[in-house]
Structure 1
Amino acid sequence: MTCTGSSTSSYSPGITNTAQTVNVSYSTTYPTCLSLTNPSLTSASNSSSITISTSCTALPSGSGTSTITFNTGQTMTYSFTYVTAEANGEAVVTQTGTVTGGLFTGSTVARQVTYLTSDLAACSAPSGLTSITGLTLLNVIP
């Protein structure tokens, strides 16, 4: 199964050039999903949060869990590890993991979010960078 969409990350307090503890809230919508084994799955969404220590110059990594809700009301929960890389002014967050509950249990998950980091000037402002939006690709592999 493959889904595409967009993800917004909100930071509280805003991320600055100095490392600090930040609560990160993620909200993702997948308006387009394609599943050959379950064609009734046509869209999805999820939201989650995590607390990390980061700054505008850091490339965070770690682990977590997330639950995706499909248009049918069915869910999929997965555990993952993630890494962040920077390339050509974009931050690319890659998650890999395993579905632990709901639809597709036991399958492998690969999720990538590409954030255009065009508002880096906000990193120098007292309020910092408070949110960023990027394109998301989700693959669930049996």
Structure 2
Amino acid sequence: MFTRRLSLCLAPSLTAIGLLAASVPAHASLPFVSGISCTGWRYATFSPGLTNTTRVTTTVLDDNLNIVDENHPTGSCVTVGSTATAGEYDQTFTVPRSCQQLGSSSDTMHTYRWNNGTTSTVSDSSTTAIVGANFVTTFTGTVTSGEFAGGTMTSTLTGLNADLAACNTPTGLTEIKMALTFNIVKVL
């Protein structure tokens, strides 16, 4: 199961890395693109747990890109034209929510903090689909400020449908881990 999540996580990043590398001619002294391609994990908690009934819930999102800890088992980053090698995004919010809203589309702003001291603020939208035994949320957007400003961002979260079985219990879904890919490409 872990291998499948990891392979789903790595495939888009390896493609993005290839696109970054292919975009820079071998004779170029400066890159014609900059960007970052990472894998990692999202750890999300919900209090009270998400059920099939809408109720006010506090959600804590913890996205780590190439930062490994007890909730984020693996990660990697490759960059072109940047010194960043890891990053994170954290958010806490309290809104009425249910398990059905995990798959809703939304327009959002996110600020990612990089380990080189910079940030990237992204305006994006998301869609969620059931793909085999997984639910997959795909984000697409534009970096509006900070490192890679003007670049295009794509990101994918992949979680197991089996994790959603907790939605049918009185306690609800209180936590979930999802494999994460994250890519920004900026043409210079």
Q: TM-score range by the shorter chain?
A: 0.7 to 0.9
Q: Which has the higher helix share?
A: 2
The residue correspondences of 1:1-142 to structure 2 (distance < 5 A) are: 1-31=36-66, 32-38=76-82, 40-50=83-93, 51=95, 53-56=97-100, 59-142=103-186
Structure-2 change in CA distance of 1:5 and 1:123 (3 Å):
same
Cα shift readout 1:83-102 (whole Å, capped 9, x = no counterpart): 11111221111111111111
Post-superposition shift, 1:52?
Answer: 5.7
The number of aligned residues is 141
SS of residue in 2 equivalent to 1:120: helix
Consecutive unaligned residues in structure 1, runs of 5 or more: none
Post-superposition shift, 1:132?
Answer: 0.6
Structure-2 separation of matches of 1:139 and 1:123: 31
Post-superposition shift, 1:107?
Answer: 0.8
Output the aligned Cα RMSD. Answer: 1.9
Q: Letter of the 1:41 partner, please give it.
A: A
Q: Is the 8 A contact 2:153 2:184 kept in 1?
A: yes
Structure-2 change in CA distance of 1:115 and 1:109 (3 Å):
same
Q: Is the 8 A contact 2:122 2:144 kept in 1?
A: yes
Structure-1 separation of matches of 2:116 and 2:42: 21
Cα shift readout 1:11-68 (whole Å, capped 9, x = no counterpart): 2321112244544321111112111111x21111111245463325862111111111
Q: Letter of the 2:153 partner, please give it.
A: V
Structure-1 separation of matches of 2:51 and 2:175: 12
Q: Is the 8 A contact 2:43 2:63 kept in 1?
A: yes
SS of residue in 2 equivalent to 1:34: strand
Q: TM-score, normalised by structure 1?
A: 0.88
Structure-2 separation of matches of 1:69 and 1:57: 27
Structure-2 change in CA distance of 1:6 and 1:58 (3 Å):
closer
SS of residue in 2 equivalent to 1:123: helix
Q: Letter of the 1:11 partner, please give it.
A: F
Q: For structure 1, which segment, 88-97 or 8-17, has the greater mean C-alpha deviation from structure 2 after superposition? A: 8-17
Q: Is the 8 A contact 1:75 1:103 kept in 2?
A: yes
Identity score, percent: 31
Structure-2 separation of matches of 1:84 and 1:57: 10
Q: Which has the higher strand share?
A: 1
Structure-2 separation of matches of 1:70 and 1:80: 18
Q: Please tell me whether Structure 1 or Structure 2 has the larger radius of gyration of its CA atoms.
A: 2
